[in-house]
Chain A
Amino acid sequence: MERVPIQLTVNGQPYQAEVEPRMLLVHVIRDVLNLTGTHIGCDTTSCGACTVLWDGRPVKSCTVFAVQADGGEIQTVEGLERDGQLHPVQEGFWEEHGLQCGFCTPGMMMTAVALLQENPDPSEEEIRKAISGNLCRCTGYVNIVKAIQYAARKMRETAPAAAGIAGGE
């Protein structure tokens, strides 16, 4: 069986692995690196539970082969907290009750982080459009939108450094 060596930087940490070409990025993240915060929901490119940032862009990690990402930088939900401090997006989901069962939350937050890096002051419509590839079956999205608005406010008010995430620039 063909195995390919790959290098990934995940949440700022370099990793090397040998993977079968058919191994999906989400499986490397969860099963090889044991970063199980990234969830597998639908497994069919629909729900966005597996969203991670690949070189800064939110993508569905169930629909990327790990070999494709060789040399790339991956950010997962585990990289959001820094020095025991929740990322403003995590704080927003906490304060505004942006979740119920929590299954979609890691992917939803990664999409939110990417949105706020590009657009620090999104309108409600821009938020709803940005998260339209992330499905939540519990909340009805109202509190998720509030959580992202909370994070946007917080990030604008605090030093720009707080907006970064571990390993990301």
Chain B
Amino acid sequence: MIPGPFSYRRATSIEEAIALLQQYGSEAKVLSGGQSLIPMMKFRLAEPAVIVDINRIPGIDTIQERNGTLSIGGLVREVALERSPLIRQRYPIIADTAEVVADPLVRNLATIGGNLAHGDPANDHPATMLALRAEVVARGPGGERVIPIDDFFVDTFTTALGPDEILTEIRVPAPPPRSGGAYVKFERKVGDYAVAAAAVFLVLDEAGKIAGAGIGLTNVYYKPLRAVEAENALLGQVPSGELFRAAAELAAKAADPTTDLRGPAEYKRAVARTMTFRALEAALSRAQAAS
């Protein structure tokens, strides 16, 4: 399959990329890893007149932690997240997520910025970033703005990014003591989107009660879903199987999956419940190990 014709512009700086986006407006599309965009262009679901390639822009592919914040550049590839000792040790929920994105060949090119900016509720990082209360940094003609993750996902394939903005960075609060997170995905086969997946981040207080909870769900709603009621049900409680089953039930209730080749809606809701329960257990065991 051959994509429609387009004009190719290779940006070598953020400023240049933004200027190109300003010039071409909604005719232009940013090319990051290309692992979603290029297939969409081959199917002619996307036919941008101009492609702005940001892959050679320096400085937006680093992973670093400073002043209590993890900073992940928008151009960081999934393979780099999977292999980063910092991510594996301090943010295993992000490593969990990166290593189930598509397949290893795709992960050599796919970027975390693209995974979020695509606005696909089937993508894996959105749920994790919702659970982690991340922030997205966007650069545009007016400079930089920081978007809380709760405001970032607007609709299916639609985010808060303007047509002349580029996602340059994701910021995640460093994990407090006695905290842990996990991402658990059910997929039919490697490379497929989730039937359902859940991201859970838990913070325990000194008595072992749940002091903070974040739950994000993948591919069971028209956009990435934060299961707020399930989170609230956990707060102040002593972790137990019974509590986690109740919270997983609330998460499944918040889900509104559609029937498709991955199964009927009712089945997916049940998978969402099971994934949430398993992610709660995994997050708890990491939080307890961190104490």
Q: Which residue of A lies closest to B2 (CB)?
A: A22
Q: Is the CB of A43 within 8 A of B1?
A: yes
Given B3, B42, B51, which contacts A44 in the complex, CB threshold below 8 Å? B42
Given A2, A44, A65, which contacts B7 in the complex, CB threshold below 8 Å? A2
Q: Is the CB of B105 within 8 A of A59?
A: yes
Q: Complex: how many Å from CA A31 to CA B3? A: 16
The stretch of B32-40, B145-153, B255-263, B274-282 that contacts the partner chain: B32-40
A48 is an interface residue with CB less than 8 A from chain B: yes
**Contact residues of A between 56 and 86, Cβ < 8 Å to B:** 57-60, 63-65, 67-68
Q: Is the CB of A68 within 8 A of B104?
A: no
Q: Is the CB of B34 within 8 A of A63?
A: yes
Size of the A side of the interface (Cβ < 8 Å), in residues, is 29
Smallest CB separation, A67 vs chain B (Å): 5
A124 is an interface residue with CB less than 8 A from chain B: no
Q: Complex: how many Å from CA A57 to CA B80? A: 12
The verdict on A48 contacting B103 (CB below 8 Å), with A22-B5, A57-B108 known, is yes
Residues of A within 8 A of B2 (CB): 22, 24, 27
Q: Is the CB of A132 within 8 A of B103?
A: yes
Q: Which residue of B lies closest to A134 (CB)?
A: B105
**Contact residues of A between 69 and 112, Cβ < 8 Å to B:** 111
Given B38, B51, B108, which contacts A58 in the complex, CB threshold below 8 Å? B108
Q: Which residue of A lies closest to B192 (CB)?
A: A46
Q: Is the CB of B3 within 8 A of A22?
A: yes
Q: Is the CB of B34 within 8 A of A20?
A: no
B191 is an interface residue with CB less than 8 A from chain A: yes
Smallest CB separation, B90 vs chain A (Å): 23
Given A24, A45, A68, which contacts B53 in the complex, CB threshold below 8 Å? A68
Q: Mark B233-257, 1 if CB is under 8 A from A, else 0.
A: 0000000000000000000000000
The verdict on A63 contacting B38 (CB below 8 Å), with A46-B191, A68-B31 known, is yes
Given A22-B2, A63-B106, A68-B53, 11 more A-B residue pairs with CB atoms under 8 Å apart are A21-B7, A22-B41, A24-B2, A44-B39, A45-B39, A58-B104, A59-B109, A64-B109, A132-B190, A133-B103, A133-B106
What are 24 A-B contacts with C-beta separation under 8 Å? A2-B8, A21-B6, A21-B7, A21-B51, A22-B4, A22-B41, A27-B2, A44-B39, A44-B42, A45-B35, A45-B39, A45-B106, A57-B109, A60-B105, A63-B34, A63-B106, A64-B109, A65-B8, A65-B31, A111-B104, A111-B105, A132-B103, A132-B190, A133-B191
Q: B-contacting residues of A (Cβ < 8 Å)?
A: 1-2, 4, 20-22, 24, 27, 43-46, 48, 51, 57-60, 63-65, 67-68, 111, 129-130, 132-134
